[in-house]
Structure 1
């Protein structure tokens, strides 16, 4: 019995506070605001500690949706998971992807196989000294399991992307921890972003059984051979807990969408991007094949980072040595250009900082496709 249906809509934005596209679709009846469960966005900030475009975007969305939900703006986040990733370097285009979910009583006809499902969960708020450490790993693992249950996904192999928004340390948060007699994982606000992303990703790996050994504090940012192939984590100043969004396929979904993924081994791994597209029936690399009339690209979600060993396939890169532009901005631009060129659109979700998210220098890439003509090829 298919009990849920999911819809996915990608909307271009003119700025981090632009909600006109979303409002237009709501007014047209294309999106029911009460059915929105998650919004993932790319904003044109720097992606760093002081990137307030993320908070601005969330604030604009909360304020816009609050009247439709009969809630004050500050309570909207209890209903909707917001994940804003800063940084649209190169050709990357600012946009949001809106996920809705509702009952599927009238959607069973003609649907077979597994279809896209989405589940959400949150951790408790973390103390500053818990960020980047074992507590964050364990709590994230619990939240991933809860989000899988919310999505109706039982088999970890059916999970293709886990998006997490996680906190970072600020000078005030560091001082608060020290005042209570606790030492934070780092005294660097920027450095804390990597620790938080890494611990969160390892939490996904634990939840999905991607690692066999015990994970603890000492593994974060040290054992890069331990990673998740589906985790995408993004750190921000606007929260103190982890927001977890699980995307996968299940027979309980009646959605006309599928999601698949592959793992990029480095920033120029075009084969992995093509494989991810193929996993949902989008064959863009073979000119001899006719266009896939029954499949339509919705969006691509990927992680990017500068290879920590300083080279890509034997050639030196300078992303880690540039003191003018952070390595995450270099990586987003490079991977964003690669994926945009292969997919034919620059409105793709590429997030920087892939610690424990795929192999070092690489990262997961997931694709959502809409199935047309009742989903039959």
Structure 2
């Protein structure tokens, strides 16, 4: 069985097109461009349908990496999994998290137990009428299983975070479906983001055995008792398939890093964040040799309009969308507990954790 070494690098950015930090690490030899498997980023757009900072960031990265890999920018986008999450409200700081993976002959001294592993897979392109429905759920489940195999993870309990970039509907895509005699789950581009995120999350839950596989179309965005504890899904206009990244711990990994997790029950669940930090030795009394790399979390305004019995106005604000409120609230909570505002908090947690809550995962570097 192959042994892999996974690297994780967090890089601050000055804007969605800023690739200078990544290029500097490549030039210094800290990162081997050929080993980059995935890049997750937070960009300072609005996180909505018209958030073009996501596409801009991917284009900038592909153009910068193309000569390093002797590929066209289009080929770079096929080779590396890019997931850009728009929206850095409140204290959230724009940044990139770069994941590398290389095969090693002999594990370094001091590496023992299960360590961070990463795997990637993609679904086929979806038809507009398949978004938010069972077709997207089933294809996502298969892609998660393929990504687990790619990561060398056989036990679902070792999967701690599944990041997915999924499509959304546009007026043109809705019209194309209608012309073929099909109805889409919604005709609203903004609402389609939630449908796509929700179906993708349910696909993760099916793949990991968190829920049964007999999900109906009408369960999406209705059966909130059905959810995944590790799914994080983000919609974008720039693709028509799902990109799936599985993060977990594996005995086949010789990485310096480890990932742990917990599940927030609501937007102010500090105990869950502390539990996730503690799972990798970074709790109230950090273990020697443990260093925080990044925190990944989902945020959502509770659908019943309350947090622990108290009314909130996130769902009623016509000036600012609820996902932006949620990112700011959860981002501030996690930043305060983690001691850094450069954390990856994504809005819209449909079927990602319990209603109003969401998964939170932490990656730490271990000294041995």
- Fold conserved between structures, TM > 0.5: yes
Distance 1:314 1:32 in 2: 50
Structure 2 residues without counterparts, runs of 5 or longer: none
Distance 2:312 2:2 in 1: 49
Distance 1:107 1:341 in 2: 36
Matched position secondary structure for 2:325:
helix
Matched position secondary structure for 1:25:
helix
Distance 1:70 1:212 in 2: 44
Distance 1:107 1:45 in 2: 41
Structure-1 residue corresponding to 2:210: 210
Structure-2 residue corresponding to 1:234: 234
Distance 2:194 2:115 in 1: 33
Matched position secondary structure for 2:331:
helix
Q: Does 1:127 align with 2:127?
A: yes
1:2 Cα deviation (Å)?
A: 6.1
CA contact (8 A) 2:299 2:345 kept: yes
Distance 1:148 1:56 in 2: 29
Q: Does 1:317 align with 2:294?
A: no
CA contact (8 A) 1:2 1:108 kept: no
Structure-2 residue corresponding to 1:115: 115
CA contact (8 A) 1:39 1:98 kept: yes
CA contact (8 A) 1:263 1:272 kept: yes
1:228-268 CA-to-partner distances (Å, cap 9, x unmatched) read: 00000000000000000000000000001000100000000
Structure-2 residue corresponding to 1:244: 244
Runs of 4+ more than 6 Å apart: none
Q: Does 1:329 align with 2:324?
A: yes
Structure-2 residue corresponding to 1:23: 23
Matched position secondary structure for 1:78:
helix
Distance 2:326 2:123 in 1: 29
Between the two proteins, the alignment pairs up a number of residues equal to 368
Q: Does 1:297 align with 2:292?
A: yes
Matched position secondary structure for 1:163:
strand
TM-score by length of 2: 0.99
Aligned counterparts, 1:169-318, within 5 A: 169-212=169-212, 214-283=214-283, 285=284, 289=285, 291-318=286-313
1:36 Cα deviation (Å)?
A: 0.1
Matched position secondary structure for 2:238:
coil
Q: Does 1:80 align with 2:75?
A: no
Distance 1:104 1:9 in 2: 19
Matched position secondary structure for 2:293:
strand
TM-score by length of 1: 0.96
CA contact (8 A) 2:3 2:107 kept: no
CA contact (8 A) 1:116 1:257 kept: yes
1:177-227 CA-to-partner distances (Å, cap 9, x unmatched) read: 101111010000000000000000000000000003611211100100000
Match of 1:369 among 330, 342, 364: 364
1:33-68 CA-to-partner distances (Å, cap 9, x unmatched) read: 000000000000000000000000000000011111
1:106 Cα deviation (Å)?
A: 3.7
1:294-342 CA-to-partner distances (Å, cap 9, x unmatched) read: 1000000000000000000010000000000000000000000000000
Structure-1 residue corresponding to 2:336: 341
1:157 Cα deviation (Å)?
A: 0.2
CA contact (8 A) 2:10 2:294 kept: yes
Distance 2:278 2:48 in 1: 33
Matched position secondary structure for 1:249:
strand
1:78-120 CA-to-partner distances (Å, cap 9, x unmatched) read: 2100000000000000000000000122434322110000000
